[in-house]
Amino acid sequence: MRSIQEELLKICHALLNHFGPRNWWPAETKFEVIVGAILTQFVAWRNVEQAISALKQNNLLSPKAIYEAEDSIIEEMIRPTRFYKQKRERLKEFCGVLVKKYDGDLNRFLNQDVKSLRKELLSIKGIGPETADSIMLYAGEKPVFVVDAYTRRIFHRLGYFKPNIDYNSMQEFFVKHLPRDVELYNEYHALIDALGNKVCKKVPVCKECPLTNSCKFYENN
């Protein structure tokens, strides 16, 4: 009988064969990863790319530049990401911590242990568990498995989760059953999001799914 670890790795390999490496997170710097993680809440990635491009073109893609810029200027740059006033506030809150507490040194901020870093990230207004964990995994290269609504939907349909499972329980499931490996966590989360975005939607496109052989939802429907 196959172990849960073997099942999860088989799912990962099937997704990798189907979608190919996702090369996530697409960014030139760690700070750009963090800005993207904050801006991508509730919006498609293409909108985030527009905002980051605008920040770059205006020499605003640094903690000090964002922190010191006029609110209206940042809002104009990130307008494509929706809720731009709220997201401007979140960016400024984060950059304020970096500038005032760490002299703008992102590496010093990220070099904290996982527990301390997560606690500090969650203390920053507007940064929740998913955004904090994305920052830790993709910018900090910490072995933190990121989960989200796609994870809940897909693994409920596969038969692993109840539909109302909470964030921490989902995360604990993967951490318990997978090797603690940053590269694996990085690729797996990106592949889950690719499946959720392109195939396993609210109304799934099962004929395009590489996981039908192990999917309870497909079996029953």
Segment 89-101, tens digit of pLDDT:
999 999 999 999 9
Q: Which of 139, 160, 184 is the last residue of a domain?
A: 139
Domain extent for 123: 30-139
pLDDT at residue 1 above 70? no
Cβ partners under 8 Å of residue 174, min gap 6: 8, 145, 147, 185, 188
Q: Specify the 3-state DSSP secondary structure of 25.
A: coil
Cβ partners under 8 Å of residue 41, min gap 6: 83, 87, 131
Tell whether 35 and 131 lie within a shared domain: yes
Segment 27-64, tens digit of pLDDT:
999 999 999 999 999 899 999 999 999 999 999 999 99
Can you tell me which residue has the tokens 């960014």? 27
pTM of the prediction? Answer: 0.95
pLDDT at residue 200 above 80? yes
Q: What is the CATH number of the domain that holds 63?
A: 1.10.340.30
Q: What is the CATH number of the domain that holds 11?
A: 1.10.1670.10
Q: Which of 95, 113, 139 is the last residue of a domain?
A: 139
Segment 126-173, tens digit of pLDDT:
999 999 999 999 999 999 999 999 999 999 999 999 999 999 999 999
For the chain, how many residues are written? 221
